[in-house]
Structure 1
Amino acid sequence: MSAEEKYPVERDLQKGDATSTLTGGDREIAELGISEPVTALQRFCNRLDALCGVEARGIERIPEELRERVMTYRDYIHMFTIWFSMNCTANQLTLGVLGPVSYGLGLTDSIVLCMFGTIFGSLCTGYISTFGPASGLRTLNVAKYTMGWWPSKLCVILNLCIELGYGLIDSLVGGLLLSAVNGGGMSVIVGIVIVALITWVVVTFGIKWFYKFEQFVWAPTVLVLFVLIGVAGPHFDTATPSSGSGAVLHGNRLSYFFLVASGPLSWSSAAADYVVYYPKSTNRWATFAATTCGITCGKLLIEFLGIGLGSGLLKNPTWQSSFDAHGIGALVVEAYKPLNTFGDFCCVILAVCIAANNIPGTYAAALNWQQLGAPFAKIPRPIWSTFSCVLFTIIAIAGRDNLFSIFINWLSLIGYWVIMWITMTIQDEFIFRKGVFDWETWNRKDLLPHGWAALFAFVIGWVGAVLCMYQTYFTGPIAALVGNGADLGLPVACGLTMFVYPPARWLELKFVGR
């Protein structure tokens, strides 16, 4: 089966009667299923779509007839592969290193917590991804059915913070790696710009290039990671136990578990965006399994390596000094140093392939800008992707000296709001809707829920998260009760939301009606 037959975005659509009278570029645009352009910018992007495949489609629903085809096992393998590629990237090393370095956990503790935290977060994202083929809608358009018209805008704003934050982190790690390989001769700024440019090219062209890039980029990454296992593995510290005891140790374990879980959780708010072109007939359980397994396998391969590098810092003074001076990029370069020039080549591969993680986030961010409201939706997706790349590049350059503090403070906050939204989505689907959605009303303000119940549960969940959060800038009064502090914000926010939303939604349906 050819690639054109496998993926609806890569095959020609059959010509219908409605396009029989069109000629030239107008016929090509109509065949792509693109709606009537409302601005000159959209008209220009539609032409680019017809001529060279720049994805012009934005947040509008993709009709079932444009997606319909026969699914095969290869499609699900492809789904697994893109999720694996998106998560098996060098920036994930940072999350692994945090276990031994920031929480004082031993190798075994870190690996066990990382594994189960990653599985938990991946399961949540796997669930949300199933709405893509079922609805033909982008993720945060689906959120309107739970959060309502206006409250869903809050999810859009928070997701923009996620995607731009990851753009900053990915570009910065790539820049640090390239600079460290060059012995500091290349500025970190130049490295950041290189990663951002690769991201911009793929994201601007859209889903076709995104699929093709992610389908193959995992291979060089995995090869150089196995080289890293061979050269650095003997230096991992497998004997030193976790520091601390009693409540202090348990608090550190809890904090690291939920920090790691926040990583895959952060994909939830964009999970459906990457599979939205799959047909409605796509098996929901297979989509769930392919997404969950792809994220878990990709993350664990690289994060376990990060844990090993972090555990080896105390045993290797050169590793420690490199890490203290120049961060994770210098640590990776130092680990490869016994291989000389070939080690530098491996580092360059890792740096360039970080774009595999940055591309999907920036793709989702471009759609999020359009979801802010009608005036934003009139600006085509390729322009928003360009704006997003410029924005996170500037922020990454400005904040290049504070990667660790940015990362550890950023990721936990992501998990708080995402877990609340997922909790409400599950309850809404299975308690109130019984699995029945009218996807045709996705843009009907008069038919969608007002969202008062969801907003109320969201606020209550945030109150719990603040009381139980454990961050460098703030420790909640409840979090402070566990040892030296433990980040309990994520489970408490989930529990409060789970308790508050059903009765609030029942009251909303009873007195408001929708």
Structure 2
Amino acid sequence: MSGPELAGLAAEQRRPRVTEIEQHGIDTIPAAERSSGPFDLFRIQFGGANTFATVILGTFPVLLGLSLPQAVAATLLGVVVGALILMPMGLFGPRTGTNNAVSSGAHFGVRGRVVGSFLSLLTAIAFYSISVWVSGDAIVGAATRLFGVADSDLLRGVIYAVLGALVIVVVVYGYQFMLLVNKIVVVGNTVLMLLGIVAYASLFDFGYDPGPDAYALGSFWPTFILSALIVMGNPISFGAFLGDWSRYIPAGTSAPKLLSATFLGQLATLVPFLFGVGTATLVAGEVDYVVALIQVSPIWYAWLLVVVAFLGGMSTGVTSLYGTGLDFSSVFPRLSRVQASLFIGALAFVFILVGRLAFDLLGSVNAFIGAIVICTTPWMIIMMLGYVVRRGHYSAEDVQVFNQGRTGGLYWFSDGVNWRGMVAWIPAAVAGLLFANYPPLIVGPFSASVAGGIDVSLPVSLGLAAVIYLALLFAFPEPRYVFGPQGPRWVPARDGEVPPVTDDPRASTHRAGRRTPTSAGMEK
């Protein structure tokens, strides 16, 4: 057997079986086990979003009163801008070998990185809940039409529980099983959604326009911007999760390939988004979109919609819950990845029941998407700016210090927190909330008095985070040792010694491995 054949065989042997339960938590993925590539990153993003959860977000521009052309324009704007903001977040995983929340410890401090863990939890609950909601509703709609079963809260609750449990099973098996599910969804759901062109050809109205009186926020531009921001919430939601998957990509993978994989993966989500836009015009005014769509569908396509909803619910739920299970287990080291996933899954299921059966679904989704966009984008811009000034240099060992139950290292800063990143993120997120307009649950006091009621929370939070963070890097330079051998780019640095890595007496469990302490010193 030739050398290349042996190398190929070795690479194949390093890839775990789909039915093998993943053993890694958020510890650094060894080079020998990084068997994925940029195309896998593309597939897992597209597969994770090629679902009814994304379709639901695609219906919002129409539900908010836009015409068909306006809704398409808002969707295109939201997807493209969101993808551009998201692109750099796929660069961290290959360099650090861990997820983005842990990687953020390089800029927020190894303890301050819990900000990323919070954002991951928020996103996971939102999208896991949406995926189970819409998949369950599709099955209920099919049961009521095809079998004459009476709709009820009990029926929905039982179906939600079954779907939620199936998602957790896949999450427990881990990355390889999740990758398989997304490979199926990329092809399967794309074909099934495109068949909708045939199914709804006789019903579709290209001139759909409910008129200006239908605008949810009273006029065109505020409603248009809100619609684009809701759509943008989908790509932005991947910001905390890209590292969960890109950490399995070799460290030497070129940045352009990683950037392209993310941008194209998000651009491909226009398939489910535009499916949502188009089909929303068919059932405009109905309270329950999924059930109503099944009722107006040809009988052959009603069956297919159930398949789309089921596969999509699995895909979105798994990609959301997997990363949070990883991260939660690192914040609470007494819990393994599997235990943490079970806990978060149970918490999210309670939210599903309360949010779907007791409150307004539209308002619940709107509020969570708004919170994700407002809080995650300034965190992302701080990460991106940090990547640029650090020249992409990171220590895979030192970002793991907190997870190991230790203190010190390159990213210890002040008691484990880099206050530069925290001081930039907190006011940016708060300011975004003050200017936000995601009715009915998130309506900031300045949302109606600025820019004619147009939601300017995104430029406010992004701009404020960038300005404050850069100003702090100049006014209070970071230690030279965090920048690596090439030194900082564009910002000053100060001299200092690396804090020694020692066991933290307050930590009772060390699960992620140990490392050799570095030289002595503290940030001054």
Question: Is TM-score (shorter-chain normalized) higher than 0.5?
Answer: yes
2:169 paired with 1:201: yes
Larger relative helix fraction: 1
Q: State yes or no: 1:453 paired with 2:420.
A: yes
1:40-51 correspondence to structure 2 within 5 Å: none
The correspondence for 1:11, drawn from 8, 13, 34, is 13
The answer to whether the Cα contact below 8 Å between 2:90 and 2:262 also exists between their aligned partners in 1 is yes
Shift of 1:434: 2.7
Verify: 1:300 aligned to 2:274, yes or no.
no
Indicate if the aligned counterparts of 1:469 and 1:475 stay in contact, CA closer than 8 A. yes
Once the two structures are superposed, residues 265-314 of structure 1 have per-residue CA deviations (whole angstroms, 9 ceiling, x without a partner) of 011111111121121122221121112211221x2111111111223345
Partner amino acid, structure 1, of 2:143: N
Contact (CA 8 Å) 1:332, 1:347: kept in 2 or not?
no
Aligned length: 454
| 2:229 corresponds to 1:258 | yes
Partner of 2:432: 465
- AA in 2 matched with 1:437: Y
Quote how far apart the aligned CAs of 1:482 are.
5.2
- Is 1:248 aligned to residue 227 of structure 2? no
Structure 1 Cα separation of the partners of residues 295 and 450 of structure 2: 37
CA pair 126-193 structure 1, distance change in 2 beyond 3 A: same
For residues 53-132 of structure 1, the aligned pairs below 5 Å read: 53-67=20-34, 75-102=37-64, 104-132=65-93
- Out of 335, 349, 356, the position equivalent to 1:393 is 349
Contact 1:106–1:238 (Cα < 8 Å) also in 2? no
Q: Cα–Cα, structure 1 residues 485 and 234, in superposed 2: closer, same or farther, change >3 Å?
A: farther
5+ residue gaps, structure 2, are 402-406, 480-493, 497-522
Distance 1:130 1:360 in 2: 18
Q: Does the 8 Å contact 1:132/1:273 carry over to 2?
A: yes
Query: Partners in 2 of 1:66 and 1:407 — Cα distance?
Result: 37
2: CA distance between counterparts of 1:483 and 1:501?
Answer: 26
Structure 2 residue matching 1:371: 3-state secondary structure: helix
Amino acid at match of 1:377: P
Runs of 4 or more off by more than 4 Å in structure 1?
4-8, 244-247, 510-514
Aligned residue number for residue 207 of structure 2: 239
Select the residue among 292, 312, 318 that pairs with 2:282: 312
Sort the Cα spacing of 1:506 and 1:483 in 2 relative to 1 into closer, same or farther, 3 A: closer
- Is the contact made by 1:452 and 1:508 (CA closer than 8 Å) also made in structure 2? no
> Which residue identity lines up with residue 453 of structure 1 in the other structure?
R
Question: Quick one: which amino acid aligns to residue 84 of structure 1?
Answer: F
2:394 is equivalent to residue 437 of structure 1: yes
5+ residue gaps, structure 1:
14-31, 33-48, 315-319
Residue 343 of structure 1 is aligned with which of 301, 304, 307?
A: 301
Q: Distance in 2 between matches of 1:361 and 1:331?
A: 27
The amino acid across from 2:384 in the alignment is I
- The answer to whether 1:192 aligns with 2:160 is yes
Give the superposition deviation at 1:406. Answer: 0.9
CA distance in 2: counterparts of 1:154 and 1:6, whole angstroms: 41
CA–CA distance in 1 between the matches of 2:317 and 2:353?
16
Contact map agreement 2:432 2:458 (CA 8 A) in 1: yes
Q: Secondary structure at the match of 1:377?
A: coil
- CA distance 1:178–1:255, shift in 2 (3 Å): same
What code does the residue aligned with 1:283 have?
S
In 2, the alpha carbon distance for the partners of 1:192 and 1:358 equals 12
Q: Which residue of 1 aligns with 2:449?
A: 481
The amino acid that maps onto 1:163 is A
Q: Which among 227, 237, 259 is matched to residue 288 of structure 1?
A: 259
- Cα contact 1:248–1:482 (8 A) shared by 2: no
